[in-house]
A and B are shown apart, each in its own frame.
Chain A
């Protein structure tokens, strides 16, 4: 397909597809019609058995109790310090059957973490990462594209729910209404042999042709998720950042009972949170990028940018950054050191982009 490839944590991944116009075109396609991503590098861990729920509750921060079969919940696994092992999407597959979809870069670490921390529960842990090719079909026309390829009634699948159905002639394919683009769309999990994967990929492209579908790489994946303020491990969340600082407390259910990281988070809350993740938009000319220093208007260092870029849909330069709580008010002005130049930025509400509500 003529993709520009790059090494992403040991995976050979497409950054962008110049033949369709590259990153900007891919990004806009997802916002306005549909794009398709190969995200097979992501991992999948299945936890099943009589104490599967207890195990999931112990190792994740969101509440998995009361999840319906077919439901997904965004969550995270925490270290005892209340910091992040990884973020995950928990899928309830059955009565005693859950699947955690995890990041590519943290696959091995996560599998070890889950195995080591669920030994005390009567459950089975399986690493299914290599069993699936995961393809994401994202954008307002994503549902129309996939509907042409499946017998499942996608109109019945709500956002953050999944179903199983025949896709491209393959039976019992997991079809989840999830994604990492801040758009509507689906992720499908098909058998991993090359012939099948390639056939499905091509059928998705053919089905989406009338809507202007294009293949999308990691570059667009990053700019899309940044506009939607979706965290990236190693940037907004990591083993040195806690849940309060990252602003992810709406996925944290302290009241569910004991879980790894709970006590540390309790203490951290009582001691007061010192820094917080904010959204920035540049005022002066310059692009605030990952790792750049954040300074106050006197050029004293106060924090750093976790992710930053030109935003292709919003047509602005945006960033997420950790700053002291006292400097996090909307409208507050700061500087970001963009190589040799301090660039004035202001704190703005996030997410930077929210997809429009569907008209009835």
Chain B
């Protein structure tokens, strides 16, 4: 499964797509596959300040709850409300199913994230355990 080259990635399996001063955040295909069928997504309200590396919500499969970690800091500008009633969309297409959009505090923070190639290497090593 190819990970979009224009995204940035975290070790907690979130992706970030930057469009100027706005970022979209979702979870990777590896994450949705590990979780199994997703039945619940908990996201922050518009206007919430989120901080890089801190949790901003959670995603639940039948058997597990997983925290979502912010790849960068910013203010939530949009929330994907469709996930309230159709959380399984994340399983269907993790790469294009965004969860929140945020006004970035500092676009430079993205430089600390993994590239697609680094992320693929990272998960290959994780899978080997």
Contact = CB atoms under 8 A, between A and B. Distances in A.
Contacts of A219: 36, 62-63
A287 B63 contact: no
B40 interface: yes
Nearest to A21: B37
B58 A339 contact: yes
Contacts of B36: 16, 18, 22-24, 219
A312 B62 contact: yes
A223 interface: yes
Interface string A311-331: 010000000000000000000
Contacts of A287: 39-40, 60
B101 to A, nearest CB: 21
B92 to A, nearest CB: 13
A313 B5 CA distance: 39
A285 B84 contact: yes
Contacts of A310: 39-40, 60, 62
A233 to B, nearest CB: 18
A18 B30 CA distance: 13
B125 to A, nearest CB: 19
Given A219-B62, A309-B63, A339-B65, A23 B40 contact: no
Contact of B63 (A15, A285, A341): A15
A31 interface: no
A22 B64 CA distance: 14
Nearest to A23: B62
Interface in B18-42: 33, 36-37, 39-40, 42
A191 interface: no
A229 interface: no
Interface residues of A, number: 18
A229 B109 CA distance: 49
Nearest to B85: A285
Residue from the set B33, B60, B61, B62 with the largest chain A CB neighbour count within 10 Å: B62
A156 to B, nearest CB: 37
Interface in A209-254: 219, 222-223
Contacts of A312: 62
Nearest to A312: B62
Contacts of A46: none
B58 A23 contact: no
A107 interface: no
A289 B62 contact: no
Interface in B67-84: 84
Instruction: Give the 4 A-B residue pairs with the shortest CB-CB distance, closest first.
Output: A310-B39, A24-B37, A22-B36, A219-B63
Interface of A: 15-16, 18, 22-24, 219, 222-223, 285-287, 289, 309-310, 312, 339, 341
22 contacts: A15-B63, A16-B36, A16-B63, A18-B36, A23-B36, A23-B37, A23-B61, A24-B62, A219-B36, A219-B62, A222-B63, A286-B40, A286-B42, A287-B39, A287-B40, A309-B62, A309-B63, A310-B39, A310-B60, A310-B62, A312-B62, A339-B65
